[in-house]
Amino acid sequence: MNAEVTVEAVAEAMYNMVKEYHGKRNLKALDLTKAMIEQYGEENCDKKFCKKAIRQLIDTGRCTYSYVGGSYIVLPPEQEI
Ordered structural domains, the chain, with CATH: 7-79 (1.10.10.10)
Neighbouring C-beta atoms of residue 39, cutoff 10 Å: 14
Neighbouring C-beta atoms of residue 45, cutoff 10 Å: 23
The residue count of the chain comes to 81
Mean predicted confidence (pLDDT) in 52-57 = 97
Q: Read out DSSP for 44-63?
A: TS-HHHHHHHHHHHHHHTSS
- Its pTM stands at 0.89
**Phi then psi for 68, rounded to 5 degrees?**
-130, 85
Note the pLDDT tens digit of each residue in 35-47.
Answer: 999 999 999 999 9
Nearest C-alpha neighbor of 66 from the set 38, 26, 16, 7:
26
